[in-house]
């Protein structure tokens, strides 16, 4: 049973109107547990729409989406959180700026559960959060009572990524998570994603425009072109491709 | 002179629940909820009607809070299900409540003469004024604990996050619509409670008593914000206490203007100018620093 199963997905925006656009023509894709899929493609080729359809913030016009065998085609995003964690392109989207780091991590830790009228933050939880944040090596574990909005974009993205594994996660969706980050922060975030993918065996999908990252990370490479999958390379065939070759694809 | 200030304290305590309600909606929505004008009067009108029909004051309290919460649910449903702007949804419900309140009271004003009110159940002091103050203070302290607890629970954190970053909450399994509706219900339950308290304190319920009351709540919350920046940014419990302090400072400022002899007809204008000053203070001080 595949973790993500997309069958004959078609997505049309503004159907019937003057600004109608077909973001995804015909996409069928099977992704197994623990795979790290890197998605590249020109702007408008359908990459973000694909991630949104997996995450539930968009519904396909045609076709079906299955997660771990369950049909989730019409399930909205806040219900897909049961399996899916996301890191957005904008570092400000993944965390609530006026809430403390600790509060943000608490919400992440109960992502798959009901938010009850009980106080969940206790000494044990604080300890867990501090220990996890310490692994980043950014010194943020001493600031867990500070509002998260006071941190830089790179720090917030790294924390968003850490938050994604505070609760059980089957699928991690990363939509250009390093687009707004400086090279050093970008590397921290990507290495962290790689580490989480290996350690927790989370099926990971990463959209990136950075071809160097596409070559360096991931077990599978998919190129989108005009709403369809043009190339799908795994393992050895992915490793074979040189950076120069990939530039020719565009 | 001191009579003015005791009155200010008493009124501030009675209006603190409403200020806390505005505090909640500003955390949940980032906007002040205009339903307040209506749910405040709803609390007052229900209190007056029930008390004059010999209901015990303690039994009337939960009814007023429930009624307020229903008004909040209406606003929440209009905003989330019909996708109407939250501010407009509040105005619609507030407008509708005007008629509801007239029907509840059957007239535009109900006096509460010789009716046993909440304060008369307790006798901490023989002096009525001090007795009322103590009862009100105890009630407000209870509410502070309740609200502090609520906003620290998992649900409370989810509620605070919904207003702060709806993208994030959707990705964290939080149903933004449900959270907003519950937040509005709680906020307007608090406001209904203020109507209950004020009508008993002033001895009558009037159809126009709620007009513009949201500005008082807003002013209190804004003063609390300014205080928070001066003192260290505290946790959520500190913020709630500062809202009550803001309510008091607001009433104090109004009492001061009356004490120096300003025409009571100008009270609403003074209120508006005062709130304007509070809002303009952070921006103005930044300008001064720049120059």
State whether A97 and B174 contact (CB < 8 Å).
no
Domain ranges for chain A: 4-249
∠ CA B149-B152-B156 to the nearest 5 degrees?
100
To the nearest whole Å, the CA of A99 is away from the closest chain B CA by 7
Residue whose C-alpha is closest to residue B271's, from B15, B85, B1: B15
| CA atoms in the 13 A half-sphere facing the CB of A169 | 33
DSSP conformation class of A232: E
CA R_g for chain B = 19
Domain ranges for chain B: 2-210
Q: N- to C-terminal Cα distance for chain A?
A: 34
Q: Mind listing the pLDDT tens digit for each residue in B256-265?
A: 888 888 888 8
> Rounded CA gap, B62 and B189, in Å?
9
Burial class of residue A226 in the structure, from the number of CB atoms within 10 Å of its CB (0-12 exposed, 13-18 middle, 19+ buried):
middle
CB contacts of B236 in chain A (<8 Å) are none
State whether B160 and A98 contact (CB < 8 Å).
yes
From the list A86, A107, A118, which residue is nearest B161 (CB)?
Answer: A107
Average pLDDT value for residue range B64-78: 97
∠ CA A184-A136-A93 to the nearest 5 degrees?
75
Residue whose C-alpha is closest to residue B19's, from B220, B213, B209, B183: B220
Question: Does ipTM exceed 0.90?
Answer: no
**CATH of range A4-249; options 3.40.50.180, 3.40.50.300, 1.10.287.3610, 3.40.390.10:** 3.40.50.300
CB contacts of B164 in chain A (<8 Å) are 96-99
Return the number of CB contacts < 8 Å for A and B.
91
pTM: 0.88
Any CB–CB contact under 8 A between A88 and chain B?
yes
> Rounded CA gap, B34 and B87, in Å?
7
Q: Mind listing the pLDDT tens digit for each residue in A69-120?
A: 999 999 998 899 999 999 988 889 999 999 999 999 999 999 999 899 999 9
Task: For chain B, list residues whose CB is within 8 angstroms of any CB belonging to chain A.
Answer: 149-150, 152-158, 160-161, 164-165, 167-176, 233
CB contacts of B167 in chain A (<8 Å) are 88, 93-94
Tell me which of A126-140, A176-190, B42-56, B270-284 is least confident: B270-284
- Give, in order, the Cα–Cα distances in Å from A138 to each of A135, A144, A159, A179, B83: 8, 12, 10, 20, 42
Any CB–CB contact under 8 A between A98 and chain B?
yes
State whether A107 and B171 contact (CB < 8 Å).
no
> Rounded CA gap, B284 and B282, in Å?
6
The H-or-E segment that residue A29 falls in is strand A21-31
pLDDT means per 10 residues, chain A with 250 residues, are 91 91 92 94 90 93 94 92 91 92 95 91 94 89 92 92 92 92 88 93 93 89 91 80 71
From the list A95, A99, A111, which residue is nearest B173 (CB)?
Answer: A111
Q: Mind listing the pLDDT tens digit for each residue in B84-95?
A: 999 999 999 999
Any CB–CB contact under 8 A between A116 and chain B?
yes
State whether A115 and B154 contact (CB < 8 Å).
yes
A3 CB-near residues (< 8 Å, 6+ apart): A31, A32, A33, A35, A67, A68, A170, A171, A203
> Rounded CA gap, B272 and B211, in Å?
13
Pair type for strands A84-87 and A171-175: parallel
Minimal Cα distance from B169: which residue of A?
Answer: A78
């Amino acid at each position: 049973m595949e973790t993500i199963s997309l069958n004959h997905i078609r997505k049309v925006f503004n159907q019937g109107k003057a600004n109608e656009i077909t973001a995804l023509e015909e996409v069928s894709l099977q992704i197994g547990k623990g795979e790290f899929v890197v998605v590249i493609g020109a702007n408008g080729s359908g990459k973000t729409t694909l991630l949104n359809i997996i995450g539930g913030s968009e519904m396909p016009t045609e076709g079906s989406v299955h997660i771990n065998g369950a049909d989730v085609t019409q399930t909205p995003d806040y219900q897909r959180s049961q399996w899916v964690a996301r890191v957005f392109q904008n570092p400000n989207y993944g965390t609530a700026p006026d809430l403390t780091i600790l509060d943000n991590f608490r919400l992440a830790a109960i992502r798959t559960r009901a938010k009850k009228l009980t106080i969940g933050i206790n000494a044990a939880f604080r300890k867990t959060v501090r220990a996890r944040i310490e692994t980043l090596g950014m010194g943020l574990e001493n600031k867990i009572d500070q509002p998260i909005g006071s941190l830089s974009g790179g720090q917030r993205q790294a924390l968003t990524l850490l938050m994604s594994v505070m609760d059980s996660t089957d699928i991690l969706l990363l939509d250009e998570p390093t687009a707004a980050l400086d090279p050093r922060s970008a590397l921290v975030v990507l290495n962290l994603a790689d580490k989480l993918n290996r350690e927790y065996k989370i099926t990971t999908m990463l959209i990136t425009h950075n071809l160097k990252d596409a070559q360096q990370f991931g077990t599978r490479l998919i190129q989108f072109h005009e709403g369809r999958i043009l190339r799908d390379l795994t393992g050895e065939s992915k490793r074979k491709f040189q950076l120069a070759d990939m530039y020719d694809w565009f | 002179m001191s009579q003015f200030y005791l009155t200010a304290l008493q009124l501030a305590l009675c209006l603190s629940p409403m200020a806390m309600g505005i505090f909640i909606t500003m955390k949940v929505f980032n906007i002040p909820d205009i339903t307040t004008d209506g749910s405040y009067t709803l609390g007052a009108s229900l209190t007056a009607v029930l008390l004059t029909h010999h209901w015990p004051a303690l039994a009337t309290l939960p009814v007023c809070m429930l009624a307020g919460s229903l008004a909040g649910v209406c606003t929440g449903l209009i905003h989330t299900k019909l996708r109407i702007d939250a501010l407009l949804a509040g105005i619609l419900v507030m407008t509708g409540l005007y008629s509801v309140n007239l029907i509840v009271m059957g007239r535009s004003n109900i006096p509460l003469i010789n009716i046993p009110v909440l304060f008369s159940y307790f006798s901490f002091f023989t002096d009525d004024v001090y007795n009322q103050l103590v009862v009100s203070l105890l009630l407000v302290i209870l509410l502070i604990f309740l609200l502090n607890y609520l906003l620290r629970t998992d649900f409370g954190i989810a509620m605070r996050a919904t207003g702060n970053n709806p993208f994030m909450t959707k990705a964290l399994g939080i149903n933004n619509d449900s959270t907003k509706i519950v937040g509005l219900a709680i906020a307007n339950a608090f406001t209904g409670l203020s109507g209950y308290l004020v009508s008993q304190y002033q001895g009558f319920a009037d159809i126009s008593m709620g007009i513009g009351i949201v500005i008082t709540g807003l002013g209190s919350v804004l003063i609390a914000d300014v205080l928070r920046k001066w003192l260290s940014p505290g946790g959520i419990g500190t913020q709630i206490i500062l809202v009550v302090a803001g309510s008091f400072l607001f009433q104090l400022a109004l009492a001061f203007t009356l004490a120096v002899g300003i025409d009571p007809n100008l009270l609403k204008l003074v209120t508006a100018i005062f709130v304007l000053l509070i809002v303009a203070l952070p921006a103005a001080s930044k300008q001064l620093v720049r120059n």
